[in-house]
Structure 1
Amino acid sequence: MDLIASVPPVSAASAAPGYGPTAVLDRARTTEVAVVGIGYAGLPLAVAAAEAGHRTRGLDLNEFLVAQVNIGSPPVDTVTEAQLAAVSGLLDATTDPAFLRDCSVIAVCVPTPVDAHGVPDLGPLLSATRTVRDHLRPDQLVIIESTTYPGTTDGVIRETLEESGLVAGEDFYLAFSPERVDPGNQRFGFHNTPKVVGGLTAECRARAAGFYRKLTEQVHVTRSTREAEAAKILENTYRQVNLALVNEFAQICHRLGVDVWDTIDAAATKPFGFTPFRPGVGVGGHCIPVDPLYLVHRAAQEGLPFRMAEQAQRINDSMPVWVAARVRDLLARHGIAIRGARVLLLGVTYKPDVADVRHSPAESLAAELLGAGVDVVFHDPYVDAFSARGRELRPSRDLPADVATADLTVVVQRHRAYQDELLAGARLLLDPSGPAATAGTSRP
């Protein structure tokens, strides 16, 4: 078996009794849809397919994910317990890929990360593709949802699948449809977020579009898989570039004595030609810091630098360093020695009110402060333990008391739990994540 888990595997002992890799499949019930990788993006797709009436099975090497899905407890915060309960008769999960041969639709939703040098790592995607190849049969529809650079689906993915002896577009159908899951978004979910679909051939497009039209309100069909692949990267590059713009703008405003938040609010009153973005400690998550690098890498192979994305990445990556410098300046202005100063970080996830810490800028910020000898304490209602480059941070056990006694409190993510009343008790407050109404507040 050649399959990649959607998140790091855990020990079998942590899986719920009676589930995991030894779970017995009900062969009497034909599975129509398979979702390979049931993490943040794959599980919402699996739930949507089941809600549409499809017998659906998730495939993952992570025994914990499999166990949690099978007992109706969502292992990721992109699906609720009520959603799992509503489809309990149509959705289950396993680590055994043998059932893939019986499915009509196979969707691949595994991670596509970058390495330490920002180079795309297609290893997880290719591993999952080889698993599909080993169980591929005629007339199946294979859809790639994992983000990747243009030319992957009709290139290496197609070549790998055709090692089965079947021909894409003739014996089986191949399409690409980028995931658009936004953790914590209460307004847009799977059903009301338009789905972009590109196929290897006209029939591939039609098959994939027909499948998604039963799951979501709107489907947009592109000319080929390459346009669909590029669209996903463009979406996140747009956000990366505009966040870099406003982050750099915030630094200039700080130097000039301009309130950046008041400035943004004023600009946002324009009813056309302007979309407000907000500065912060940096950019994190599984999309914005990663997806543009896929096109940066692919364009460089063609001798075409993607300068805007490259510069935006550098600006956003530098924000934690700039905020750390603001911390040092603020402490110095109030006569507090940097070494040994106690700094409380509020919110270490990559965005407000989610439990996801992937690529969180809080890690770089904490590492900068620890390197300067600062005593760093953190609090996050969604995170029990947090480390910065191998060093465990001490968690806050009494938040109001820690806010009141810390030399400086930094709001990294504005979780709903961090109301102005709480922040008003801080001795000094640095709030790069948004304006806060306290006398000791320092804004970007």
Structure 2
Amino acid sequence: MPSDACQTLLQSISDHTCTVGVIGLGYVGLPLIDAFINAGFSCLGFDVDPKKVSTLLEGKSYIKHIEDAKIGNWLAKDRFDATADMARLAEPDVLLICVPTPLDSARDPDLRYVEGTCQAIAKVLRAGQMVVLESTTYPTTTRDVMVPILEQNGLSAGSDFFVAYSPEREDPGNPDFSAAGIPKVVGAINEDSLACATALYESAVAGVVPVSSCEVAEAAKVLENIYRAVNIALVNELKVLFDEMQIDVWEVINAAKTKPFGFQAFYPGPGLGGHCIPIDPFYLSWLARKQGSNARFIELAGEVNRSMPGYVVSRTSEFLNEFRKPVRGSKICLLGMAYKKDVDDPRESPSFELMELLLEQGADLTYSDPHVPTLPPMRHYDLPELRSQSLTPEFLASQDAVLIATDHSAFDYDQIVEHAALVIDTRNATSAVTEHRDKIRKC
């Protein structure tokens, strides 16, 4: 039998009278808000960046696939507010934590944002609230890291307030999958917490998959990303091998994927980007080391994927040598700073590693990306201030090489190949180009 506090929260969810608080107004948080507002809930967004808050309150977006009109609609419905004041964390009935979970310099999990958020919540936590972590992390984080911090104010998790874990599932740039259209895995610390979290997400998303514990939900998310990381590492390693054998890895993959069973196509690239795949598998390898074990597949996949920017730069040097040009002093334009096609998200993009490596070798470097107009500051890279260049015929002709790192649809590959002296393609973006193919080098 659910407790009185649980029944009260379940009733407010059923009536759509509860307020949903979302902490972290980025690529995960804003789509979540959209899903809950569309389902009839009111949302209060929290972010430590006051610029983000003021931008949203002006009805403007800073994320490409969340349009200004959508923000304006939230405000017009009077169902959205945003704040940098963490004292207001007491107001929502539900708090969804969508903060970064990066790795530190030793590639160990860095939970300072999760811990800091939980400390802020604990100061104002009231009975009857529910706290759900969405940030990807290693199994046991919710129970062993979050709960002790939240209970510092004297309330008991599972009875006075409820705690669950439901990993974010976002595919930026893919119009077929919105936050509301992707099933959510939900695990919790006890039955009441699971009942409340399941009811909440069932009211706003396409489907809910309840599991027996937070640890199962945490592990499921890490598995999803390890699966992708390992398979991408496999095709990256095959790309290097097939290059030496003068076999086109893209043609091989296209042939293999005609098999209607037992094969799923993954594609090589210049490295891994985004928050999830380059980072999340290492949560589990770190946890394995803590358990006195090791995760050899994960570590090997990470090693292969991390080597790809260096491989691309090495091949770039070889291709320039065909034209009797060294990297030093050569004008090289990098196409695409976002980590993925047709998005404006630069997190963990391999383009930054490529840029740093090319600059170290003395390249005269520029970039072009219609979704990233100015080069954003990145924690791990010391790069000059640059602006995206327009790919005019004159500009392309002035470059010694154009390096395709991200295959945005906005790029006119026919024009690029026509006017550039050398095009180095890491994404098979020029596969449909029929003219001047002698200028193209696959990498």
- Scaled by the length of structure 2, the TM-score of the pair is 0.90
1:409-434 C-alpha deviation (Å, 9 max, x unpaired):
11010111212222222211110111
Quick one: distance in 1 between partners of 2:140 and 2:289?
14
1:219: which partner in 2?
208
Map 1:86-125; keep pairs closer than 5 Å. Answer: 86-88=73-75, 89-125=78-114
1:390 maps to 2:382 = yes
1:327 maps to 2:316 = yes
Question: CA contact under 8 A between 1:377 and 1:393: conserved in structure 2?
Answer: no
Quick one: distance in 1 between partners of 2:72 and 2:58?
9
Quick one: distance in 1 between partners of 2:330 and 2:145?
53
2:400: which partner in 1?
407
2:53: which partner in 1?
66
Question: CA contact under 8 A between 2:370 and 2:388: conserved in structure 1?
Answer: no
1:41 maps to 2:35 = no
Map 1:297-312; keep pairs closer than 5 Å. Answer: 297-312=286-301
- Quick one: which of 422, 425, 435 aligns to 1:428? 422
1:204-241 C-alpha deviation (Å, 9 max, x unpaired):
11110000001101000111000101111111111111
Write the letter of the residue equivalent to 2:69.
A
Question: CA contact under 8 A between 2:367 and 2:389: conserved in structure 1?
Answer: no
**How far apart are 1:369 and its partner, in Å?**
1.5
2:13: which partner in 1?
none
Map 1:292-371; keep pairs closer than 5 Å. Answer: 292-371=281-360
2:66: which partner in 1?
79
- Quick one: which of 255, 265, 275 aligns to 1:266? 255
115-124 or 68-77, which deviates more:
68-77
1:65-86 C-alpha deviation (Å, 9 max, x unpaired):
1111111111223522232233
**How far apart are 1:125 and its partner, in Å?**
0.3
Quick one: distance in 2 between partners of 1:93 and 1:139?
22
365-374 or 286-295, which deviates more:
365-374
**How far apart are 1:309 and its partner, in Å?**
1.1
Quick one: distance in 2 between partners of 1:375 and 1:200?
55
307-316 or 69-78, which deviates more:
69-78
1:185 maps to 2:185 = no
Secondary structure at the residue paired with 1:166?
coil
Question: CA contact under 8 A between 1:347 and 1:413: conserved in structure 2?
Answer: yes
- Quick one: which of 130, 136, 139 aligns to 1:147? 136
Secondary structure at the residue paired with 1:175?
strand
Question: CA contact under 8 A between 1:344 and 1:402: conserved in structure 2?
Answer: no
Write the letter of the residue equivalent to 1:422.
Q
1:287 maps to 2:276 = yes
Quick one: distance in 2 between partners of 1:69 and 1:404?
41
Question: CA contact under 8 A between 2:228 and 2:277: conserved in structure 1?
Answer: yes
1:8: which partner in 2?
none
| Structure 1 portions without partners, runs of 5+ | 1-29
Question: CA contact under 8 A between 1:60 and 1:94: conserved in structure 2?
Answer: yes
1:168-216 C-alpha deviation (Å, 9 max, x unpaired):
1111111000011221111101111011100111111111000000110
1:100-136 C-alpha deviation (Å, 9 max, x unpaired):
3232211111111111221111111000001111111
1:19: which partner in 2?
none
Secondary structure at the residue paired with 1:343?
strand
217-226 or 375-384, which deviates more:
375-384
Secondary structure at the residue paired with 2:106?
coil
240-249 or 428-437, which deviates more:
428-437
Percent identity between matched residues is: 39
Question: CA contact under 8 A between 1:34 and 1:58: conserved in structure 2?
Answer: yes
1:441 maps to 2:440 = yes
RMSD (Å), alpha carbons: 1.6
104-113 or 418-427, which deviates more:
418-427
45-54 or 248-257, which deviates more:
45-54
Quick one: distance in 2 between partners of 1:398 and 1:132?
46
- Quick one: which of 147, 154, 161 aligns to 2:150? 161
| Count, aligned residues | 415
